[in-house]
């Protein structure tokens, strides 16, 4: 799977450094050429000899070795991928700011290869706003982050921050270096909040920013999918996918229906208005005329309509922004709208949902339920598409 691929394995100074030995062994077994780069902190936890014995390339520790005057550029330019395992709070912060003071940080800044970071630290550090912000910035630059597990930590503590399982780390490396698990798949994503006109200047809207939908579109694109985006908000200019800009629920309905036949996966991340004014005033309503009476009528429920007509091979993903009874409402929507997956978030929680760069969700399927703790929307997108891929492969077996 990784035959001949050149991987720089950066190991930093955390208790989880011993697990990097297992990761190194698995990468070598999969056929990769592994060049270990150990920081001085790592050497407090693991020995150079262990990695030298396992890896195909010699261990490197310093910018000032005798073999090469510029080892970081040689490593950075020659790598197919740089994996940092474990990634401490320090290396994450240095990488975010471009501070390159040792061989590993200099290599990270000097490479154009994909980078995979595997954070591991105490729960308090993992949840600290500085760490989460650094990871958000790095994720938005395209860095792949293997979120830590919950479990036993150093000193007998238990919580989030434990290095991800070596199998998951190696699977991520294989995915990043592979052809992409959504190649040949068309993914339709909706994003943003619809606007229902009252008069030429006013509308009924909602707080959706479109960020979660854009993250889903970017993640699907990077995994090889053909992406169709139907959005109420213009996407970032570099998104580079087929985009249909709409405003109202009716326009979104029309755009989705016109393209959904081509889609293998439809992700309804948009916040679609449930009701729209029966009449739109031709000219601006005037205050002197007194408070207007706005009569509303239901919009078409796009997700439910797609759920009624979906092909056997189509995967339909809905979202549910809730403020109470989150799990019960989500499961109800999953069944009622005949979706395959329903991504629920409690938008009353801090840092979750509308207008934030972060989100915290639970992905519900008929036979699965997965918590995605508060993290960058790109990582939420990754978890949602992982669930889509798992759903498709379970269905095909």
The catalytic residues are 206
Question: Between 322 and 341, how does the x/- string for binding to ligand CTP read (CB under 6 A)?
Answer: -----------x--------
Binding residue for ligand CTP (CB under 6 A) from 29, 274, 313, 355? Answer: 274
Binding residue for ligand CTP (CB under 6 A) from 63, 146, 320, 379? Answer: 320
The yes or no reply on residue 321 touching ligand CTP (CB under 6 A) is yes
Min CB(352)–ligand CTP separation in Å = 14
Max Cα–Cα distance, the chain, nearest Å? 84
Question: Between 3 and 42, how does the x/- string for binding to ligand CTP read (CB under 6 A)?
Answer: ----------------------------------------
Sign of CA dihedral 307, 317, 363, 249: negative
Q: Distances in Å between the alpha carbon of 72 and those of 55, 75, 85, 380, 385?
A: 18, 5, 18, 32, 34
The footprint of ligand CTP on residues 227-266 (CB under 6 A) is 249
375 and 353 Cβ atoms separated by less than 8 Å? no
The yes or no reply on residue 388 touching ligand CTP (CB under 6 A) is no
Segment interacting with ligand CTP (CB under 6 A) among 82-90, 299-307, 308-316, 350-358: 299-307
C-alpha closest to that of 116 among 147, 161, 93: 147
32 or 230, CB closer to ligand CTP? 230
The yes or no reply on residue 138 touching ligand CTP (CB under 6 A) is no
Binding residue for ligand CTP (CB under 6 A) from 170, 188, 268, 374? Answer: 268
139 or 216, CB closer to ligand CTP? 216
311 and 395 Cβ atoms separated by less than 8 Å? no
Binding residue for ligand CTP (CB under 6 A) from 299, 345, 358, 359? Answer: 299
Task: Please give the Cα distance from 252 to 274 (Å, whole number).
Answer: 12
Element (H, E) at 249: helix 249-260
Q: Residue 380 gets which letter from DSSP?
A: H
Min CB(268)–ligand CTP separation in Å = 3
Sign of CA dihedral 141, 142, 146, 150: positive
Min CB(373)–ligand CTP separation in Å = 21
113 or 189, CB closer to ligand CTP? 189
Element (H, E) at 374: strand 369-376
C-alpha closest to that of 88 among 14, 158, 23: 14
The yes or no reply on residue 95 touching ligand CTP (CB under 6 A) is no
The contacts of residue 354 (CB under 8 Å, 6+ apart) are: 206, 207, 208, 209, 271, 321, 347
> How many residues bind ligand CTP, per CB under 6 A?
14
C-alpha closest to that of 350 among 341, 360, 363: 360
Min CB(324)–ligand CTP separation in Å = 10
Segment interacting with ligand CTP (CB under 6 A) among 111-119, 178-186, 267-275, 360-368: 267-275
174 or 301, CB closer to ligand CTP? 301
The contacts of residue 67 (CB under 8 Å, 6+ apart) are: none
Sign of CA dihedral 36, 42, 48, 53: negative
Min CB(377)–ligand CTP separation in Å = 16
Binding residue for ligand CTP (CB under 6 A) from 272, 361, 383, 387? Answer: 272
The yes or no reply on residue 302 touching ligand CTP (CB under 6 A) is yes
Residues that bind ligand CTP (CB under 6 A): 249, 268, 270, 272, 274, 299, 301-303, 318-321, 333
């Amino acid at each position: 799977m990784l035959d001949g691929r050149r991987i720089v394995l950066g190991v930093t100074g955390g208790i989880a450094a011993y697990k990097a030995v297992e990761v190194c062994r698995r990468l070598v077994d999969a056929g990769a050429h592994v060049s270990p780069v150990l920081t001085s902190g790592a050497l407090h936890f693991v020995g150079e000899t262990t990695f030298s014995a396992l890896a195909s390339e010699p261990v490197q520790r310093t910018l000032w070795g005798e073999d090469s005057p510029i080892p970081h550029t040689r490593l950075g330019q020659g790598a197919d991928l740089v994996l940092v395992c474990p990634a401490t709070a320090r290396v994450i912060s240095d990488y975010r700011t471009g501070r390159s003071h040792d061989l590993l940080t200099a290599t990270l800044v000097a490479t154009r290869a994909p980078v995979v970071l595997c954070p591991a630290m105490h729960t308090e550090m993992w949840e600290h706003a500085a760490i989460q912000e650094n990871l958000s910035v790095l994720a938005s630059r395209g860095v792949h982050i293997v979120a830590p597990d919950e479990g036993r930590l150093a000193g007998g503590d238990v919580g989030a921050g434990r290095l991800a399982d070596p199998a998951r780390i190696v699977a991520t490396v294989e995915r990043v270096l592979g052809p992409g698990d959504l190649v040949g798949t068309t993914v339709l994503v909706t994003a943003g909040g619809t606007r229902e006109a009252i008069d030429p200047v006013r509308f009924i809207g909602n707080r959706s920013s479109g960020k979660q939908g854009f993250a889903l579109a970017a993640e699907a694109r990077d995994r090889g999918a053909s992406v169709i985006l139907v959005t109420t908000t213009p996407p970032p200019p570099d998104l580079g996918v087929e985009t249909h800009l709409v405003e109202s629920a009716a326009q979104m309905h029309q755009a989705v229906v016109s393209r959904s036949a081509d889609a293998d996966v439809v992700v309804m991340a948009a916040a679609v208005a449930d009701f729209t004014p029966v009449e739109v005033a031709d000219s601006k309503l005037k205050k002197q005329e007194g408070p207007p009476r706005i009569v509303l009528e239901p919009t078409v429920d796009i997700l439910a309509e797609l759920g009624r007509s979906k092909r056997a091979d189509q995967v339909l993903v809905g979202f549910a922004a809730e403020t109470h009874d989150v799990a019960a409402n989500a499961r109800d929507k999953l069944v009622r709208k005949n979706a395959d997956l329903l991504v629920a978030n409690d938008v009353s929680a801090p840092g979750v949902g509308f207008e934030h760069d972060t989100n915290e969700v639970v992905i519900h399927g008929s036979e699965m339920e997965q918590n995605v703790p508060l993290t960058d929307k790109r990582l939420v997108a990754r978890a949602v598409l992982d669930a889509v891929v798992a759903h498709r492969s379970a269905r095909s077996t």
